Amino acid sequence: MEAGDWDRKYAGKELLWSVEPNRFVAEGLAGLPPGRALDLACGEGRNALWLASRGWRVRAVDFSSVAVSRARELDREGAVEWEVADLTRYPFPVAEEDLVLVSYLHLPPEPMRPLLADAARALAPGGTLFFVGHDLENLEHGTGGPQDPDVLHTPEAVAGALEGLEIVRAERVTRQVGERAAIDTLVVARAPGA
């Protein structure tokens, strides 16, 4: 989907996602000491705002200007640095971030793999990369998310793209959505040299 498609999707609803952070993000990152964080494809900012409320200095990027304006409105205290940019052409920082978060970003392998490699290189020594997204297995055994297999994730593919990082977790996790379970890829990785 292009930025304009996402803009239309966001514009059609008051709030497309929840105000609360994703539950895996909250569970997985609550114990991490705050530092500098980069939220990739932040959407309306639910995770970035949660991180900022916990003391993180957050830069949050998304190519939908509608989503980012909404995030800015929610961020009444101006706690997060918001940026509208296409992550497939983004000047990633190198060795600067204590946390890089990727939550439900779905792109075909060609932009996705190099983007993950850039995200890995953005981590400072000892920094954490946290990835969650709809898993390929949803097509047969789960529910929700994109229906195009090309943009769905597997723990193996995500972990394999994180060059130079130590893989701490690479697994499938489930969320109950109504009567069905949605299957997510969850990967946590760490940069060497803490």
Q: Where along the sequence are the contacts to ligand SAM (CB under 6 A)?
A: 6, 17, 22, 41-43, 46-47, 62-64, 67, 86-88, 103-105, 107
Chain residue at closest Cβ approach to ligand SAM? 43
Q: Which is nearer to ligand SAM, 68 or 170 (CB)?
A: 68
The nearest distance, CB 193 to ligand SAM, in angstroms, is 28
Q: Which is nearer to ligand SAM, 50 or 159 (CB)?
A: 50
Q: What residues have CB less than 8 Å from 152, skipping those under 6 apart?
A: 106, 133, 134, 135, 136, 138, 139, 145, 146
What does the alpha-carbon distance between residue 34 and residue 172 come to, in Å, rounded to a whole number?
A: 26
Q: Which is nearer to ligand SAM, 70 or 121 (CB)?
A: 70
Buried b (16+ CB within 10 A) or exposed e, 79-88: bbebeeeebe
Q: Which is nearer to ligand SAM, 177 or 192 (CB)?
A: 177
The nearest distance, CB 50 to ligand SAM, in angstroms, is 10
Segment holding 148, helix H or strand E: none
The nearest distance, CB 184 to ligand SAM, in angstroms, is 11
Residue 91's beta-bridge partner residues? none
Q: Which is nearer to ligand SAM, 22 or 128 (CB)?
A: 22
The nearest distance, CB 96 to ligand SAM, in angstroms, is 19
Residue 101's beta-bridge partner residues? 39, 130
Residue 80's beta-bridge partner residues? 58
Look up residue 145 and give its DSSP letter. S
The nearest distance, CB 118 to ligand SAM, in angstroms, is 12
Contact 172, 135 (CB under 8 A): yes
The nearest distance, CB 45 to ligand SAM, in angstroms, is 8
Distances from the Cα of 79 to the Cαs of 6, 45, 60, in angstroms?
A: 24, 11, 11
Q: Which is nearer to ligand SAM, 63 or 124 (CB)?
A: 63
